[in-house]
């Protein structure tokens, strides 16, 4: 019985606009991927790390991650995030029973979030997602016209790591239509009728997407430094 962390890190990072793939962009001297995996490893609940890297950077990613965890596997990613996650799942051994899928770009997610997600899966939930309340007012629009204001109390923003019983996650990815490009993995299980449980997310688990997010990440790291 083992827990695996699959880290999709093969995206280009178009919205960040850096000269390297986003997961390899440095934050305080270390790539986002290194920050992400170090925090996951510190949880103590991960037995194997599968990093899904840009095809041209697999060796580089292996050297970056080998010092952080005793069991690291690196595979090349695909065109869409969903393809990268599937390729990561294909690299997992059969004895893995819990899989966490975690965006390299959510590089400051604290270790206790990983622990909470693994515990919820081990307690019997087939799919677990960390969520936060939505703070903006959300409206549905059609073109430039507002159709309605959505009741915010019913909405949450979804983060990673998302945790899964390995069987249902493998089955969801195996039956997913190529190019359907689900935006998250829990959504794939949800559409197959599996219940999806929530646990509290964390403000620091935001996704580095645009340049302003790097500014925030940098400030948070400076605050953490002893
Ligand atoms: N990802 C991946 N393979 C892809 C696309 C994305 O492994 N083909 C990973 C990214 O590296 C990132 C995570 O999925 O860690 C979340 O995706 P996103 O934030 O959209 O990253 P990018 O696709 O790199 O960024 P952008 O959409 O701005 O190009
Ligand atoms: Mg993307």
Please tell me the number of the ligand nearest to residue 22's CA: 1
Q: Is 161 in the pocket of ligand 1 (CB under 6 A)?
A: no
User: What phi and psi, each to the nearest 5 degrees, are found at residue 116?
Assistant: -65, -40
Please compute the mean of the pLDDT values over residues 45-73 and round it to a whole number: 98
Name the least confident of 24-28, 37-41, 90-94, 183-187: 183-187
- For residue 13, how far is its CA from the centre of ligand 2 (angstroms)? 7
The ligand 1 atom nearest the CA atom of 21: 24
Helix/strand/coil for 84: helix
- 168, two tokens: 């249902």
Q: What is the DSSP letter of 32?
A: H
Q: What is the pLDDT of residues 84-113, one digit of tens each?
A: 999 999 999 999 999 999 999 999 999 999
The ligand 1 atom nearest the CA atom of 207: 19
40 CA to centre of own chain: 11
Q: What is the pLDDT of residues 186-199, one digit of tens each?
A: 999 999 999 999 99
Q: Is 52 in the pocket of ligand 1 (CB under 6 A)?
A: yes
The ligand 1 atom nearest the CA atom of 104: 15
Q: How confident is the model at residue 1 (pLDDT cuts 50, 70, 90)?
A: confident
**Distance from C-alpha of 204 to C-alpha of 198, rounded to nearest angstrom:** 17
pTM over 0.85: yes
- Nearest in space to 122 (alpha carbons), one of 140, 154, 97, 104: 97
Say if residue 139 is preceded by a cis peptide, omega within 30 of 0.
no
Q: Residue of the nearest CA to atom 23 in ligand 1?
A: 11
Residue 55 makes CB contacts below 8 A (sequence gap 6+) with 10, 76, 77
């Amino acid at each position: 019985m083992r827990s695996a962390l699959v880290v999709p890190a093969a995206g280009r990072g178009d919205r960040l606009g850096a000269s390297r793939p986003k997961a390899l962009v440095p934050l305080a001297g270390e790539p986002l991927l290194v920050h992400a995996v170090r925090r996951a490893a510190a949880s103590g609940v991960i037995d194997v790390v599968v990093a899904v890297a840009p095809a041209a950077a697999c060796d580089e990613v292996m050297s970056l991650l080998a010092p952080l965890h005793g069991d690291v596997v690196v595979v090349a990613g695909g065109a869409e995030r969903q393809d990268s996650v599937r390729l990561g799942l294909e690299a997992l051994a059969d004895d893995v029973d819990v899989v966490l899928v975690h965006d390299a770009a959510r590089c400051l997610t604290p270790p206790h979030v990983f622990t909470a997600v693994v515990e919820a899966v081990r307690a019997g939930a087939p799919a677990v997602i960390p969520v936060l309340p939505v703070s903006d007012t959300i409206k549905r629009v059609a073109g430039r016209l507002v159709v309605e204001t959505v009741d915010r109390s019913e909405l949450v923003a979804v983060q990673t790591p998302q945790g899964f019983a390995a069987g249902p996650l493998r089955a969801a990815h195996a039956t997913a239509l190529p190019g359907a490009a689900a935006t998250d993995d829990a959504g794939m299980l949800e559409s197959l009728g599996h219940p999806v449980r929530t646990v509290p997310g964390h403000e620091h688990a935001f996704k580095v997407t645009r340049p302003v997010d790097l500014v925030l990440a940098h400030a948070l790291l400076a605050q953490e430094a002893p």
